[in-house]
Amino acid sequence: MAKITIDGKEYDTDALSDEAKGNIQNVQFCEQKMAELRRELAIAQTARNAYAQALKGALPKDA
């Protein structure tokens, strides 16, 4: 018997409707996707910073 807490109230997932269970799964999927996107954004930001540093090193020194 799994439990889930929503807005401070605990629910027994076995007692929820199929619609509610589906919505829980959709929320969990969205949370996972958002975490994945945050990780990908961090990777892209790190790469961008490295490219910006490389660009600074490749620019003419007398400008």
Q: What is the pLDDT of residues 17-30, one digit of tens each?
A: 999 999 999 999 99
Q: Which residues, at least 6 apart from 16, have a Cβ–Cβ distance to it below 8 Å?
A: 24
| pTM of the model as a whole | 0.77
Q: Residue 59 in 3-state DSSP?
A: coil
Confidence of residue 3 (pLDDT cuts 50, 70, 90): very high
Instruction: Tell me what pLDDT residue 42 has.
Output: 98
Residues in the chain, overall count: 63
Joined together, the tokens standing for residue 56 give: 């600074």
Q: Which residues, at least 6 apart from 13, have a Cβ–Cβ distance to it below 8 Å?
A: 1, 2, 3, 4, 21, 24
pLDDT in tens, 27-40: 999 999 999 999 99
